[in-house]
């Protein structure tokens, strides 16, 4: 195997400079990215899981919001590809001294960087960055707006189970209103022809939920009996701005919307996913997360491969 990827579907012209959200990507674009990710997934199984495709690139991880999995996944992907990596931390930066986002990114850009991976609590920040610098911008999560690389890795993982997602039934269960993962997944899954239902308490449904083009349910048994894949989401208390209690108690939430071993026995066909972090005993029982029906750890591994593919393509890899 050569050091440079052999592009799949190479007749597709991938022209994107940025990944701001999946709303900007066509079905063909999404499938193209997922096909490239297969190559990088194979690299991760090598004795030396590295390829020097970004050895002349400098990438900044601009994380204004706390993250563990996403930041580590991007950094590992970058280092696996030989890039020079700079990590920005809000807590130890000049932001604490009053520096604006615009000044911060322009100062960083003056160091001659090629790409910026951005994570911010405010929607629209990645779009703003494209107007400030010439570097390629990758959205690693902006508020409750989008989280495109998470959705791409989720779809990649789903396609390992079902290579064609056309007419497959996908249920997303939990805190729909505050999740950027939901929005990106819904956009991507509908473009790939899947059927999507979102399920959760009425208080955790956004006002615009019907505009997403999905079905809405408040009964977990109905959706688990229907779906091929069930993706559970955590309750995102940090994004509930006014502190309003949206459910009576954790115990009550788990009783009504948590996936249990009884569900696995009653509905033997659906596969379990979760974008993480998993709150065991809330969105699912601990035994469910560790069961052979769960592909949660595959999502983590695949996340590195998918992010390697995106980094490669946005660095100009589609035009080698």
pLDDT band at 1 (very low <50, low <70, confident <90, very high): very low
pLDDT band at 317 (very low <50, low <70, confident <90, very high): confident
Q: What is the pLDDT of residues 19-34, one digit of tens each?
A: 999 999 999 999 999 9
Q: What is the pLDDT of residues 247-305, one digit of tens each?
A: 778 899 999 999 999 999 999 999 999 999 999 999 999 999 999 999 999 999 999 99
Please tell me which residue, 149 or 239, carries the higher pLDDT value.
149
Q: Give me the chain's average pLDDT, please.
A: 91
For the CA atoms of 179, 183, 188, 189, the dihedral, rounded to the nearest 10 degrees, stands at 80
Q: Residue 162 burial by CB count (10 A; 0-12/13-18/19+): exposed, middle or buried?
A: middle
Has this prediction a pTM greater than 0.85? yes
Intra-chain end-to-end CA distance of the chain, in Å: 17
Q: What are phi and psi of 217, to 5 degrees?
A: -135, 155
Question: How far is residue 67's CA from residue 141's CA, in Å, rounded to a whole number?
Answer: 10
Question: How far is residue 222's CA from residue 32's CA, in Å, rounded to a whole number?
Answer: 34
The predicted pLDDT at position 109 comes to 85
Please tell me which residue, 208 or 128, carries the higher pLDDT value.
128
Which strands form 84-89's sheet, in the order they lie side by side? 84-89, 58-63, 115-120, 136-142
Residues 178-198, mean pLDDT to the nearest whole number: 96
Sign of the dihedral through C-alpha 275, 281, 282, 285 = positive
Q: What percentage of residues in the chain have a pLDDT greater than 70?
A: 90
Neighbours of 77 (CB within 10 A): 27
Q: What is the pLDDT of residues 75-123, one digit of tens each?
A: 999 999 999 999 987 655 556 556 788 888 888 888 889 999 999 999 9
Question: How far is residue 169's CA from residue 228's CA, in Å, rounded to a whole number?
Answer: 5
Please say whether the beta carbons of 119 and 140 come within 8 A: yes
The predicted pLDDT at position 213 comes to 92
Please say whether the beta carbons of 176 and 234 come within 8 A: no
pLDDT at 207 over 90: no
Residues 181-202, mean pLDDT to the nearest whole number: 97
The predicted pLDDT at position 9 comes to 56
Question: SS in 3 state form for the chain?
Answer: CCCCCCCCCCCCCCCCCCECCHHHCCHHHHHHHHHHHHHHHHHCCCCCCCCCCCCCCEEEEEECCCCCHHHHHHHHHHHHCCCEEEEEEHHHCHHHHCCCHHHHHHHHHCCCCCEEEEEECCCCHHHHHHCCCCCEEEEEEECCCECHHHHHHHHHHHHHHCCCCCCCEEEEECCCCCCHHHHHHHHHHHHCCCEEEEECCHHHCCCCHHHHCCEEECCHHHHHHHCCEEEECCCCHHHCCCCCCCCCCHHHHHHHHCECHHHHHHCCCCEEECCCCCCECCCECHHHHCCCCECHHHHHHHHHHHHHHHHHHHCCHHHC
The predicted pLDDT at position 320 comes to 34
Q: Which residues pair with residue 146 across a beta bridge? A: 142
């Amino acid at each position: 195997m050569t050091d440079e990827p052999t592009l799949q579907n190479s007749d597709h012209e991938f022209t994107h400079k940025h990944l701001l959200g999946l709303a900007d990507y066509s079905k063909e674009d999404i499938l193209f990215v997922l096909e490239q990710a297969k190559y990088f997934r194979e690299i991760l199984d090598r004795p030396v899981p590295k390829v020097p495709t970004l050895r002349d690139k400098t990438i900044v991880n601009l994380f204004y919001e706390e993250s563990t999995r996403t930041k580590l996944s991007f950094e590992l992907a970058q280092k696996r590809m030989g890039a020079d990596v700079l990590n920005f931390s809000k807590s130890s930066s000049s932001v604490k001294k009053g520096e604006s986002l615009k000044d911060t990114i322009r100062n960083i850009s003056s160091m001659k960087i090629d790409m910026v991976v951005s994570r911010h609590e405010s929607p629209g920040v990645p779009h703003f960055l494209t107007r400030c610098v010439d570097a390629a911008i990758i959205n690693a999560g902006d508020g409750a707006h989008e989280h495109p690389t998470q959705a791409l890795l989720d779809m990649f993982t789903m396609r390992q189970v079902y290579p064609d997602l056309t007419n497959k039934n996908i249920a997303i269960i939990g805190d729909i209103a505050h999740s950027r993962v939901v929005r990106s997944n819904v956009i991507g899954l509908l473009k790939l022809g899947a059927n999507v239902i979102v399920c959760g308490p009425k208080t955790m449904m956004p006002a615009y939920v019907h505009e997403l083009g999905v079905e809405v349910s408040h009964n977990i048994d109905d959706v688990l009996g229907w779906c091929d894949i069930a993706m559970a989401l955590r309750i995102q208390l940090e994004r509930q701005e006014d502190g309003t209690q949206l459910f009576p108690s954790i115990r009550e939430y788990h009783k009504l919307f948590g996936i249990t071993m009884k569900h696995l026995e009653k509905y033997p066909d659906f596969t379990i996913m979760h974008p993480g972090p998993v709150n065991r005993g809330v969105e699912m029982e601990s035994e469910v997360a560790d069961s052979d029906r769960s592909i949660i750890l595959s999502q983590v591994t695949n996340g590195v491969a998918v992010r390697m593919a995106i980094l490669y393509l946005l660095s100009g890899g589609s035009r080698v």
